Amino acid sequence: MAHSGEVTKAVVPVAGLGTRFLPATKVTPKVMMPVVDKPAIQYVVEEAASAGLSDVLLITGEGQQSITDHFERAYDLEARLTARGNQKALAQVRAPSELAKVSYVRQDSPRGLGHAVLCAAEHVGDEPFAVLLGDDLIGKRDDLLARMIAARKRYGGSIVALMEVPHEQISSYGCAAFKPTDDPDIVAVTDLIEKPDASEAPSNWIVIGRYVCDPSIFAVLRETPAGRGGEIQLTDALRTLAIADRTRAGVDGGGVHGVLFRGRRYDTGNKQDFLRTTVEFACSRPDLAPEFVSWLREYLETLPQT
Ligand code: UTP
């Protein structure tokens, strides 16, 4: 079972409350906050589409209709732009609706990322699928998802993306214990430890917001009790699959492998990273960079040294 099936579907959970970004997220969903001139979620759906995942299921919460609207046609607006002959704006308005077949399912209340993924069970069925967190952006040149899909093809089971952080930061993240494989960029995950003490962390590699899950994850999630913060955690279910594979305990999920990621990742759910992402993306845009970068240099000169 573990090696069967192509990955064609992406699940993108966006139903979290976004409390770190209040009051902006009181009415506007976190993933609709613009990074330069596109909502964060559009970059994520673009990433899924360019990895060949043309079926994208958003897991949305209350008051998040703007997210699904963003990926629908906007007929009135399109008609007005056509009447004005503004082809450039028309293309910008249409682009999100042409990226992929985007549908959604509602999570009744935000009971955790694991619970959000479980809401996709019916849509996904018995196929492996990708999970992309709506507030984690991956650099355009880094083909992380394609590498993860290839790893799934080779090893079966579920695949996590691992990124190295400085040792003193490890206690803020989910950390992986692993063994090497014959591929230097892929490891066999033996355990996942949420927010370990730095002295007890088995590695400096953290789990970031891209996953390829074996459909057996759904049965495991149904049995996964609420963990940290009273929420059903995806990491806990992946841990069950990793440990079951290591100990040959009754769950047939094909184990968990990790793709080592050394590219750029932007956690736009976090204020510091959100600001950095905006500046970095603006600096790499040919239409904005010349003027913006020279302003930025001048502005930095005016700041007191800290
Ligand atoms: P986070 O914990 O980072 O996001 O969840 P949050 O809860 O929205 O933000 P804060 O911590 O309150 O500021 C990681 C991802 O999982 C989704 C979130 O939308 C985010 O993309 N999520 C989380 C759900 O879809 N449902 C949940 O019940 C929890």
Ligand 1 in reach of 110 Cβ (< 6 A) = yes
Instruction: Please tell me the distance between residue 111's alpha carbon and the centre of ligand 1 in angstroms.
Output: 9
Return the axis-axis angle of helices 271-283 and 289-302, rounded to nearest 10°.
130
pLDDT of residue 248: 63
pLDDT of residue 251: 66
Instruction: Please tell me the distance between residue 3's alpha carbon and the centre of ligand 1 in angstroms.
Output: 30
User: Could you tell me if residue 278 is inside a domain?
Assistant: no
pLDDT of residue 1: 43
Q: 34 pLDDT exceeds 60?
A: yes
Q: 284 pLDDT exceeds 60?
A: yes
User: Could you tell me if residue 221 is inside a domain?
Assistant: yes
pLDDT of residue 253: 74
Answer for the pair 14, 27: CB distance below 8 angstroms, yes or no. Answer: no
* 133 CA: nearest ligand 1 atom: 21
User: Could you tell me if residue 302 is inside a domain?
Assistant: no
Instruction: Please tell me the distance between residue 13's alpha carbon and the centre of ligand 1 in angstroms.
Output: 8
Distance of CA 289 to the CA centre of its chain: 27
Ligand 1 in reach of 226 Cβ (< 6 A) = no
The secondary structure of 185-223 as a DSSP string is TEEEEEEEEES--GGG-S-SEEEEEEEEE-TTHHHHHHH
Protein residue closest via CA to atom 8 of ligand 1: 16
User: Could you tell me if residue 305 is inside a domain?
Assistant: no
Q: 37 pLDDT exceeds 70?
A: yes
Q: What's the pLDDT tens digit per position in 138-159?
A: 988 889 999 999 999 999 999 9
Mutate to test the pocket of ligand 1, among 133, 136, 234 (most ligand atoms within 8 A of CB): 133
User: Could you tell me if residue 154 is inside a domain?
Assistant: yes
Average pLDDT over residues 183-193: 96
* 30 CA: nearest ligand 1 atom: 8
Average pLDDT over residues 221-228: 90
User: Could you tell me if residue 95 is inside a domain?
Assistant: yes
Compute the mean pLDDT over every residue in the chain, rounded to the nearest whole number. Answer: 94
Grade residue 177 by pLDDT with cuts at 50, 70 and 90.
Answer: very high
Q: 26 pLDDT exceeds 70?
A: yes
User: Could you tell me if residue 297 is inside a domain?
Assistant: no
Q: What's the pLDDT tens digit per position in 241-263?
A: 999 866 666 667 789 999 999 99
pTM score, whole prediction: 0.94
pLDDT of residue 269: 87
Answer for the pair 190, 218: CB distance below 8 angstroms, yes or no. Answer: no
Instruction: Please tell me the distance between residue 14's alpha carbon and the centre of ligand 1 in angstroms.
Output: 7
Q: Closest Cα to residue 235, out of 132, 152, 114, 141? A: 114
Grade residue 100 by pLDDT with cuts at 50, 70 and 90.
Answer: very high
pLDDT of residue 306: 72
Share of the chain above pLDDT 90, in %: 87
User: Could you tell me if residue 39 is inside a domain?
Assistant: yes
Protein residue closest via CA to atom 9 of ligand 1: 18
Q: d(Cα 270, Cα 191) in Å, to the nearest integer?
A: 26
Ligand 1 in reach of 19 Cβ (< 6 A) = yes
Let me know if 121 is exposed, middle or buried by CB neighbors in 10 A (0-12, 13-18, 19+). Answer: middle
pLDDT of residue 250: 62
pLDDT of residue 4: 57
Number of domains in the chain: 1
Q: Containing domain of residue 66, as a range?
A: 9-269
23: preceding bond cis by omega (within 30 degrees): yes
Ligand 1 in reach of 136 Cβ (< 6 A) = no
Domain CATH number, residue 169: 3.90.550.10
Instruction: Please tell me the distance between residue 72's alpha carbon and the centre of ligand 1 in angstroms.
Output: 23
Q: What's the pLDDT tens digit per position in 44-59?
A: 999 999 999 999 999 9
Ligand 1 in reach of 152 Cβ (< 6 A) = no
